[in-house]
Amino acid sequence: MSRHLLQPVVGVLPYPSSIAIGWDPPLATFFAIVSRSNDDEDNMLLWIGTHYAELPEPDAAIDAVRPYAVIPDDLKSNLESDRRNEGARPRPPWLA
């Protein structure tokens, strides 16, 4: 699993925040998380990419965090590289 921490856009959120984006091979999806200061579920403002193949392309995850985070120019290519290097696991038959 890859995980890239992003810098928050100054002044958008009125409290310390944590923004992460990455690739999850077991779920074959990109994910994005915006939380109040840590990844405690009670502090989640945004959490997408929690279902198998939910976000097959990095653009959806990047667009989801764009209002909250400074997006590095190389983020999309880094995420695509993460997917290429880490691969994905086949969908388990028990996962509906």
For residue range 39-84, list pLDDT tens digits in order: 556 678 999 999 999 999 999 999 999 999 999 999 999 999 999 9
CA dihedral (76, 79, 83, 89) positive or negative: negative
Could you read off the pLDDT of 23-44 as tens digits, one per residue? 999 999 999 999 987 555 667 8
Task: Identify which of 46, 73, 40 has the alpha carbon closest to the alpha carbon of residue 61.
Answer: 46
For residue 43 the two structure tokens come to 């502090």
Burial 19-41 (b: 16+ CB within 10 A, else e): bbbbbbeebbbbbbbbbeeeeee
